[in-house]
Amino acid sequence: MEKEIEQKVREHAAELEATGRLGQLRGFKQHGRTTVYDHVLAVACLALRLSRRLRLRVDENSLIRGALLHDYFLYDWHVRNPERPLHGFYHPKAALKNALADFHLNHRERNIIRRHMFPLTPVPPTTREGLLVCLADKLCALRETFRRE
């Protein structure tokens, strides 16, 4: 099952990279030594794995696309910028704006991107897919931040 999940996520990533700017995420660090690109891949795989283990009915394509685009903010958040003083609060809106410029997004995908930072941002996700990505994002961020390598 693990290989099938990774393959499915990589296929979606390849499509988003070919038709948009997903590949640019390789040039930005997220947590520790992890790039934003590797982070969104990990979040997508974990969210899909959780949905299957919990036997939740979800739109897997929207779950994966939303997870891959949840941090599509396309800037180095480690560089201070007065236009975005609080990255944690600002970046979901920037990611959604960029994703909408490059792709057609359905309701679930928009919900995932806009609300993945709950509870830092006050409004929680309203879809199963959004809740799974929100949880997977936190778990991956913790692992990446405290990884000893």
List, for residues 96-128, the tens digit of each pLDDT value: 999 999 999 999 999 999 999 999 888 899 999
The per-residue pLDDT for 148 is: 61
What is the domain extent for residue 75? 2-146
The per-residue pLDDT for 41 is: 98
Give SS3 for 35: strand
Give SS3 for 113: helix
Question: How far apart (Å, rounded) are the C-alpha atoms in residues 67 and 39?
Answer: 10
Of 72, 80, 76, 138, nearest to 110 by C-alpha is 72
Mean of per-residue pLDDT scores for the chain = 93
Which of the four pLDDT bands, split at 50, 70 and 90, describes residue 17?
very high
Once rounded to an integer, what is the mean pLDDT over residues 37-45?
Answer: 97
Report which DSSP code applies to 31. Answer: S
CATH number at residue 59: 1.10.3210.10
The token pair at 97 is 């704006």
Instruction: Name 141's Cβ contacts closer than 8 Å, sequence gap at least 6.
Output: 30, 31, 39
Place of tokens 């930072």: 117
Once rounded to an integer, what is the mean pLDDT over residues 49-74?
Answer: 97
Q: Is 1 a residue whose pLDDT tops 80?
A: no
Q: Is 149 a residue whose pLDDT tops 60?
A: no
Number of domains in the chain: 1
Report the predicted TM-score, pTM, of the whole model to 2 decimal places: 0.94
